Amino acid sequence: MAQSAPITAESRPVAGVLWMLLTGANFVAVTAIVKHVGSGLPAAESAFLRYLLGLVFLIPMARPLMAARFTRKILFLYGIRGVAHALGVILWFYAMTRITMAEVTSLAYLNPIYVTIGAIFLLGEKVALRRILAICVALVGALVILRPGFRELSPGHFAMLGNALLFGGSYLIAKVMSDQSHPAVVVAMLSITVTIGLAPFAWAVWVPPSLEDLGWMFLVACFATAGHYTMTLALASAPVTVTQPVTFLQLVWAMTLGALVFGEPIDIWVVFGGAIIIGAVSFITWREAMLKRRAITPSVPATKG
């Protein structure tokens, strides 16, 4: 019997969209749980417990982690990434107790924008004018959300801006490390270094957690891990140009859940600004996909050999 043709990413767009929908649901669940727990625990302690309890998910990665060879430079980069990510996580947990779920979700869309900007100045990547304009549009979207001068900005807003910047730096380092280490090692080292990086901050503000607090934080770790896994499946099933726009639904779900469960007001400017940012991010993603496709597609003469 003849074997069926391999299924390519382009041939499974429905699967990619469904996996990305599930990814959004997982990450919104994380946001909702942290919002529910509220300020019962300090932000640094909540973040530390989330990563500490999540270390159990590293067990399947033990073999590649033990087989990895770490140079001093690689360990330094992992350490820098761990510190940046740890600070970003603290800011995210803090922001969740100060601003609405919709605002947190909208401002988190700035992460890819910071990554693109960092790639230009730190990695020397060349960017066309259209992508630069897309970055400017995304920053306009952030201004629409924040509306400085038209309303009072809270520390939570500044925390999310700092979070996006720190996460952007973390992802840039991951981009460099992905060429030198096994993906499982990159993921495992992030969890380990972030847990270590959060420990002193958590110790400084430590409050004895209840069993209920521990249960909620373990649930956060479960949903976050599931979200990263389903995102991987989505990206393996369909091109990012298909899956990226689906992430906008996270804002819709976060806004709906915030209004129905937590009584948060629906701010149309937050939705509009989030739509502007995700539109710009989707354009940048599409442009990168097109450039990669051109790079791997042989020229006409090359196909006639």
pLDDT of residue 300 exceeding 50, the answer is no
Quote the CA–CA distance of 206 and 128 in Å, as a whole number. Answer: 48
Quote the CA–CA distance of 118 and 161 in Å, as a whole number. Answer: 15
Mean pLDDT of the 232-260 span: 77
The mean pLDDT value of the chain amounts to 82
Quote the CA–CA distance of 203 and 24 in Å, as a whole number. Answer: 32
Strands (E) across 88-173 are located at none
Mean pLDDT of the 201-206 span: 94
Contacts by residues 85-88 (CB-CB < 8 Å, ≥ 24 positions apart): 85/166, 85/167, 85/170, 85/190, 85/193, 85/194, 85/197, 86/47, 86/193, 86/194, 86/197, 86/198, 86/201, 87/162, 87/166, 87/197, 88/162, 88/163, 88/165, 88/166, 88/167, 88/170
8: three-class secondary structure by DSSP: coil
Among 124, 144, 127, 126, which Cα is nearest to 135's? Answer: 127
**Could you report the per-residue pLDDT of 279-293, keeping only the tens digit for each?**
888 787 777 667 666
Phi, psi of 110, rounded to the nearest 5 degrees: -75, -15
- Residue 286 tokens, joined: 């599409």
Report the share of the chain in percent with pLDDT over 90. Answer: 23
Quote the CA–CA distance of 56 and 6 in Å, as a whole number. Answer: 34
The band of 175, judged by pLDDT with boundaries at 50, 70 and 90, is: confident
The band of 295, judged by pLDDT with boundaries at 50, 70 and 90, is: low
Mean pLDDT of the 120-147 span: 82
**Could you report the per-residue pLDDT of 46-99, keeping only the tens digit for each?**
999 999 999 998 888 788 888 878 888 888 999 999 999 999 999 999 998 888
More reliable by pLDDT, 149 or 25 = 25
Query: Residue 22: is it exposed, middle or buried by C-beta count within 10 angstroms (0-12/13-18/19+)?
Result: middle
Handedness of CA 223, 227, 228, 230 (dihedral sign): positive
- Per the CB < 8 A criterion, the answer to whether 94 and 221 are in contact is no
- State residue 111's pLDDT score: 82
Q: What is the DSSP letter of 150?
A: T
- Per the CB < 8 A criterion, the answer to whether 287 and 239 are in contact is no
> How far apart, in Å, are the Cα atoms of 228 and each of 1, 65, 146, 263?
37, 19, 28, 28
Among 37, 71, 58, 18, which Cα is nearest to 230's? Answer: 18
The band of 298, judged by pLDDT with boundaries at 50, 70 and 90, is: very low
